[in-house]
Amino acid sequence: MGALFDKKRSSTRTAAAAVEFTLDMTPDAVTLCERKPHGSWRKFDAVQLDDPEFANVLGLLRADAEAYACARAPVRLWLPPDQILQKRAWVGDNQPEVLRLRAAFDFVARETVYRPQDVAVAVGPADDDGMAKTLITFAKT
């Protein structure tokens, strides 16, 4: 494993200190990053996908991150761009969020080869014509 076990972490962190992590999924590795107070991200540590001990090392990474955060901290998932389908979909003007999502899932069923129950969808703000940028990815990747 990389720097995770090579560096000493601050012993002054408390449970009250908010920690935010993200997992950066690349073709070669899973990298855990921590958000710094000024908004940038710092590499916490990584595990290579071809590591023969991948599952064990990933478990150690999780345990060390939980110990560092003094709790289970929220973790965002960054996906490579090639795993995200970007489309413009009609979601209506000034619609409540639930109707915008329903319209986006209807778009998925109608205009893509994917089943709505297999994907996760994020919808951006609608333009004047009711069209919005829609991001689609598999719910389980």
In this structure, the answer to whether residues 23 and 64 fall within a common structural domain is: yes
In this structure, the answer to whether residues 116 and 61 fall within a common structural domain is: no
In this structure, the answer to whether residues 92 and 121 fall within a common structural domain is: yes
pTM over 0.85: no
- Of 34-38, 77-81, 124-128, give the lowest mean pLDDT range: 77-81
Q: What is the tally of structural domains in the chain?
A: 2
Domain boundary (57, 78, 99) is at 78
pLDDT tens-place string over residues 81-112: 888 899 999 998 788 888 989 999 999 999 99
In this structure, the answer to whether residues 12 and 72 fall within a common structural domain is: yes
Domain boundary (63, 78, 93) is at 78
Which SS3 state, helix, strand or coil, does residue 38 take?
Answer: coil
What CATH number corresponds to the domain at position 133?
A: 3.30.1490
In this structure, the answer to whether residues 66 and 88 fall within a common structural domain is: no
In this structure, the answer to whether residues 23 and 53 fall within a common structural domain is: yes
In this structure, the answer to whether residues 72 and 7 fall within a common structural domain is: yes
Domain boundary (78, 105, 123) is at 78
Q: How far apart are CA 109 and CA 101, in angstroms?
A: 12
In this structure, the answer to whether residues 113 and 87 fall within a common structural domain is: yes
> pLDDT at residue 9 above 60?
no
Q: How far apart are CA 113 and CA 38, in angstroms?
A: 41
Which SS3 state, helix, strand or coil, does residue 65 take?
Answer: helix
Instruction: Using alpha carbons, list the distances in angstroms from residue 113 to 85, 103, 118, 136.
Output: 12, 16, 11, 12
Domain range spanning residue 105? 81-138
In this structure, the answer to whether residues 18 and 72 fall within a common structural domain is: yes
DSSP string, 5-32: GTSPPPTT--TTS---EEEEE-SSEEEE
Percent of the chain residues past pLDDT 70, beyond the cut:
87
Which SS3 state, helix, strand or coil, does residue 76 take?
Answer: strand
